Structure 1
């Protein structure tokens, strides 16, 4: 494999000589070996609450064990377990202006065993209109504490399967009910009768650590989410959302970085390697993780999300979300001086990516927590599709990105650089 990272000898004195062997640890062959497991059809898309994500967890745990990581302090193993409430709608009788609405045109978020609502009750009717920023609008809808009837414009038809399954899980019982309706333009009268089965179910992040040699109470986090969308409606005969890029590629990076830093065995600060569950349904895994320690002890978080395809700038490049919120990006760029690799600020700021991945849970607490990605979010052809398969990834370029993350983070891991904190008063 052609080496595209060339560093001056002064760049990484703490790893003197070791960085020269990085190609033996992080390379396309090793990257592909991990991807071929996590994104295989046998794991059926790693959906939350399935046996398939359990298999993925076991694979990551075994990797952590083989690498030689330690469990999170106080944990008996690499699993960081928590519980969520899962709601399954068993009865949905909905009439709009006297017409019965078929189940296929309804999406329900409700954690009450029984719901009966009419136009005489406290229900707010809102619209997802053509041209709306659906992500922003859905974000506001999910934060609402009111009962909502949401009329979805036909232009959002491709989101139907996602909206119909959105919000089936929560870490805390919700008191409001949200009903999405497809193909309904206007509502005068309505009658909503729902019956739901609420079950408390276990989930787990997979977390391992390398204790720091001289600064053990200061943490650097490398993370990614290992869940994806599972199995859905067939598209051209394929029903498995493999999630090779989203986010098996990020988990592959975390496992590769764990192996690299373990072999280096020279980290001043404690390194936490975390793979999160339940990102796709609301970032619940990272939310739980963020509450397990004092965020003031975390000096940096490298969240890695979708690095399997080339960025808009081509090979040997990636972007950092929330670049202007801390000086962490500048530190990484400085550490890559003289190399062929380039980090860029997030070019998709209108999509608010800084708040849409697992880094957000820590950033909201002031941690310099950023996501590193290459995904072309204005035109990523396989995003959240059954076509997000191993064959679409560039393993050589992935390996170079992971190496760049490893080498650019060295001065932070060594305790030489400490990024500025996120100003939480300016988060929006």
Structure 2
């Protein structure tokens, strides 16, 4: 028993020493400087394909250069450049039973022009009040069928969000095969005997870029640990009380700040056995395209863990010094992290919002789908967060102390994975 007590005391002393070091090396005033810059009005909400996201990328590149990160193999600089095809609708006409549907009641998800004029052209799906529209929407997106989805007016609020997104068009990788089309119509239609849809678009090739840097591993350079967050947000949206900039301070300037701070921390230590990759993803808000591209550039078998950091700007539902991990039960990633925090006040919890399916709704999904123990760390109280995706998500609403303590906890909890002494179990690959 004395041996166990002595070992426990040593562990507590060790954790305390590490905590003192991390407190000195990850400073709150520097965390504040970074997140304040990323969420400032002059970043214009960091919308994809806008000057604001270019400015944000340049800032992140400057931080990486100052830290002394190296570019990823195959890149001349910190940018991972790729192109997307943006499809913008120019004509949308829908009739049901010979009656034209008002434009405000139509939303279309399609990557190319198409016309439907007979019942066989698409499957009719009625979203009645007893159904879960979010689940039906995700299921339709994941299918390979053309669908005409008739949305009950009960879901008008969510339909407007779908329509708002579709009105701006869609994006796809240049080599992506043509997608099936989904047509959403708000209203009650008891007996659909005929329908027509005419949808015309224009296409434009546009550049995108992740910002990624590495610290090569000292003894296990071919094993990778990824720290990530997304630096894009919504950009300029409909004004509220004269404010139209969706600053995205929590979503996800907070996570990007963590990535930069952790890069600085581990570069100072300079003792990582495994290669560390620090990546700020683009285009998360429009379909996680940045992380999808990144997943194509790495061998998933060599990625031993991914710490994706999303919305850590305020205390979690568990209180101060806490965060949750999505997919906690899918690997022992969370168990390892919590073991490394013994002797500290911080605790990681399983995701308290399982109905939201958060594990596959952030950038960790792109690598988790192929078996990487890739998890998202967050503190967001998503069930009551009224500032999510609004112009109100500004720096003034954040708890910088909470952000700093969470970053420090990630630094402490990741250390055995970084050192190569712990390797999380793989997650089950996603089967379609």
For normalisation by structure 1, the TM-score amounts to: 0.92
Cα deviation for residue 190 of structure 1 reads 2.3
Of 282, 287, 290, the match for 2:292: 287
Q: Is the 8 A contact 1:25 1:256 kept in 2?
A: no
How far off is 1:162 after superposition? 3.1
Which residue does the alignment assign to 2:122? 123
Q: Which of 155, 177, 180 is the matching residue for 1:176? A: 180
Q: Which residue of 2 aligns with 1:23?
A: 23
The aligned counterpart of 1:3 is none
Aligned to 1:107: 107
Correspondence for 2:361: 356
For residues 232 and 158 of structure 1, do their structure 2 counterparts lie closer, same or farther at Cα, with a shift above 3 Å needed?
farther
What is the CA–CA distance in structure 2 between the aligned matches of 1:405 and 1:135, rounded to whole Å?
Answer: 32
Instruction: In structure 1, list runs of 5 or more residues that go unmatched.
Output: 1-6
For residues 158 and 25 of structure 1, the distance between their equivalents in structure 2, rounded to whole angstroms, comes to 46
- 2:232–2:284 contact (8 Å) kept in structure 1: yes
RMSD (Å) for aligned C-alpha atoms: 2.2
Cα pair 1:11 1:335 within 8 Å, conserved: no
Contact 2:22 2:412 in 1 (8 A): no
Q: Distance in 2 between matches of 1:294 and 1:193?
A: 42
Distance in 2 between the 1:423 and 1:300 partners? Answer: 14
2:288 is aligned with 1:267: no
- Mean Cα deviation higher: 183-192 or 38-47: 183-192
Deviations along 1:192-227, whole A, 9 cap, x unmatched?
A: 112100122221111100001111111100001111
- Helix, strand or coil: the match of 1:340? coil
Alpha-carbon distance change, 158 to 391 in structure 1, aligned in 2, over 3 angstroms: farther
Match of 1:404 in 2: 409
Of the structure 1 ranges 147-156 and 352-361, higher mean CA displacement relative to structure 2 is found in: 147-156
Do 1:12 and 1:410's aligned partners in 2 also have CA atoms closer than 8 Å?
Answer: no
1 CA distance for matches of 2:16 and 2:352?
35
Q: CA deviation at 1:94?
A: 2.1
SS of structure 2 residue aligned to 1:127: strand
- Contact 2:12-2:343 within 8 A present in 1 as well: no
Aligned ranges 1:80-229 → 2 under 5 Å: 80-112=80-112, 114-130=113-129, 132-164=131-163, 165-166=165-166, 168-171=170-173, 172-186=176-190, 187-229=192-234
Which is further off, 227-236 or 151-160?
Answer: 151-160
1:318 and 1:245 map into 2 onto residues whose CA distance is: 14
Q: Give the TM-score normalised by structure 2.
A: 0.91
Q: Deviations over 1:262-319 (max 9, x none)?
A: 1111111100001111111111111111111211111111000111011111110000
Render the CA deviation track for 1:350-396: whole Å, top value 9, x for unaligned: 21111111111111111111110111122222122222111211000
8 Å contact from structure 1 (residues 81, 203) kept in 2: yes
More helix by share: 2
Once residues 196 and 82 of structure 1 are traced to their aligned partners in structure 2, the CA distance between those partners, rounded to angstroms, is: 22
Structure 2 CA distance for aligned equivalents of residues 51 and 12 of structure 1: 49
The Cα shift of 1:161 comes to 4.5
| Corresponding residue of 1:4 | none
**Distance in 2 of aligned mates of 1:155 and 1:291:** 40
Alpha-carbon separation, structure 1, partners of 2:251 and 2:228? 13
Could you say what secondary structure the match of 2:338 adopts? helix
Is 1:304–2:309 an aligned residue pair?
yes
